[in-house]
Structure 1
Amino acid sequence: MTVDKPTSGLAVLSWMPVAAMTVVAAADVVAGPGVGFLPLVSLGPAFSGLVGGWRRTALIGALALLLCVGLGLYDGLFEERRGFTAMASVAGVTGVGIAAAVMRSRREAELASVRSIAEVAQRVLLRPVPRTAGSLQATVSYTSAVAEARIGGDLYEVVASPHGIRVIVGDVQGKGLAAVETAAVVLGAFREAAHDEPDLLGLGERLERSVARELGGEKFVTAVLAEIGEDHEVVFLNYGHPAPMMVRRDGTADFPQPTAYALPLGLSAHGLEGPKPYRVSFAPGEQLLLYTDGVSEARDAGGSFYPLGDRADLLKEPDADRALQGLREDLVRHAAGPLHDDAAMLLLRYHGHVKGKSVPIE
Structure 2
Amino acid sequence: MARASRLRGPARSRASWTRPDARAGIGAAVVLLALIAAVELADGPAPRVVGLLATPPFVAAAFAGWRSVGLLGLACTMFGLGVTSYGAHTVELGEATDIAAIVVATGIAMATAVARQRQLDRMNTLTRLASVAQEAVLRPLGPQIGHLNLAARYVSASTAADIGGDLYEVVDTPYGTRMIIGDVRGNGLDAVRLASTVLGSYRHVAFERADLRAIVADLDRAVARSVGDEDFVTAALLEERGGSLTIVNCGHPPPMLLRDGRVQLLEPPSAAPPLGFMPVVSLRSHRLEPGDRLLLYTDGLTEARRAGEFFPISERAWGLLGHGSVGDGLASLESALREWVGGPLDDDIALVLVEYTGPRPGAEEAAPSWAVAERGRQDGNGGNALGPVDVPTPPGPATPVGDPTPSSALPPADSLGARRR
Inter-partner Cα distance in structure 1 for 2:27 and 2:125? 28
Q: Is the 8 A contact 1:223 1:238 kept in 2?
A: yes
Q: Answer with 310-319 or 140-149: which moved more.
A: 310-319
How far the C-alpha of 1:180 sits from its partner, in A, is 1.3
Inter-partner Cα distance in structure 2 for 1:78 and 1:191? 82
Q: TM-score, normalised by structure 1?
A: 0.90
Q: Is the 8 A contact 1:77 1:83 kept in 2?
A: no
Q: Matches of residues 254-265 of structure 1 in structure 2 within 5 Å?
A: 254-265=264-275
How far the C-alpha of 1:149 sits from its partner, in A, is 1.6
Counterpart for residue 212 of structure 2: 200
How far the C-alpha of 1:88 sits from its partner, in A, is 2.0
Inter-partner Cα distance in structure 1 for 2:21 and 2:110? 22
How far the C-alpha of 1:35 sits from its partner, in A, is 8.0
Q: What is the identity, as a one-letter code, of the residue corresponding to 1:161?
A: T
User: Out of 108, 118, 123, which is 2:130 matched to?
Assistant: 118
User: Out of 253, 256, 279, which is 1:242 matched to?
Assistant: 253
Deviation track 1:204-253 (CA, whole Å, cap 9, x = no partner) reads 110111111112434211111111111x32111111111110011x1100
In the alignment, is residue 54 of structure 1 matched against residue 60 of structure 2?
Answer: no
CA separation of 1:356 and 1:9: change in aligned 2, threshold 3 A:
farther
How far the C-alpha of 1:110 sits from its partner, in A, is 1.3
Q: What is the identity, as a one-letter code, of the residue corresponding to 2:270?
A: A
Deviation track 1:144-169 (CA, whole Å, cap 9, x = no partner) reads 10113222121110011111111111
Deviation track 1:293-340 (CA, whole Å, cap 9, x = no partner) reads 111111122x11111111122222232211111111111111122211
CA separation of 1:75 and 1:247: change in aligned 2, threshold 3 A:
farther
What count of residue pairs does the alignment treat as equivalent? 345
Inter-partner Cα distance in structure 1 for 2:136 and 2:170? 14
User: Out of 313, 321, 337, which is 2:319 matched to?
Assistant: 313
Counterpart for residue 360 of structure 1: none
Inter-partner Cα distance in structure 1 for 2:293 and 2:132? 31
CA separation of 1:75 and 1:218: change in aligned 2, threshold 3 A:
farther
CA separation of 1:39 and 1:350: change in aligned 2, threshold 3 A:
same
In the alignment, is residue 267 of structure 1 matched against residue 277 of structure 2?
Answer: yes
Name the Cα RMSD after superposition.
2.1
- Taking only the aligned residue pairs, the percentage that are identical comes to 36
CA separation of 1:73 and 1:136: change in aligned 2, threshold 3 A:
same
- Structure 2 residue runs of 5 or longer lacking an equivalent are 1-17, 364-421
CA separation of 1:258 and 1:78: change in aligned 2, threshold 3 A:
farther
Counterpart for residue 32 of structure 2: 20
Inter-partner Cα distance in structure 1 for 2:218 and 2:49? 75
CA separation of 1:24 and 1:356: change in aligned 2, threshold 3 A:
farther
User: Out of 299, 324, 327, which is 1:293 matched to?
Assistant: 299
Inter-partner Cα distance in structure 2 for 1:241 and 1:76? 83
Q: Matches of residues 351-362 of structure 1 in structure 2 within 5 Å?
A: 351-353=357-359
Counterpart for residue 40 of structure 1: 52
Inter-partner Cα distance in structure 2 for 1:42 and 1:262? 66
Q: TM-score, normalised by structure 2?
A: 0.77
Counterpart for residue 330 of structure 1: 336
Q: What is the identity, as a one-letter code, of the residue corresponding to 1:200?
A: L
Inter-partner Cα distance in structure 2 for 1:75 and 1:308? 74
Q: Is the 8 A contact 2:258 2:322 kept in 1?
A: no
Counterpart for residue 226 of structure 1: 238
Q: Answer with 72-81 or 86-95: which moved more.
A: 72-81
- Structure 1 residue runs of 5 or longer lacking an equivalent are 1-5, 358-362
Q: What is the identity, as a one-letter code, of the residue corresponding to 1:99?
A: A
Inter-partner Cα distance in structure 2 for 1:44 and 1:203? 64
CA separation of 1:163 and 1:353: change in aligned 2, threshold 3 A:
closer
How far the C-alpha of 1:12 sits from its partner, in A, is 2.1
Deviation track 1:96-143 (CA, whole Å, cap 9, x = no partner) reads 101101111211221222122122212211111132111111111111
How far the C-alpha of 1:32 sits from its partner, in A, is 3.0
SS of equivalent residue, structure 2 residue 109 = helix
Counterpart for residue 13 of structure 2: none
Inter-partner Cα distance in structure 2 for 1:181 and 1:47? 42
Inter-partner Cα distance in structure 2 for 1:12 and 1:101? 15
Inter-partner Cα distance in structure 1 for 2:232 and 2:89? 71
Q: Is the 8 A contact 1:25 1:71 kept in 2?
A: no
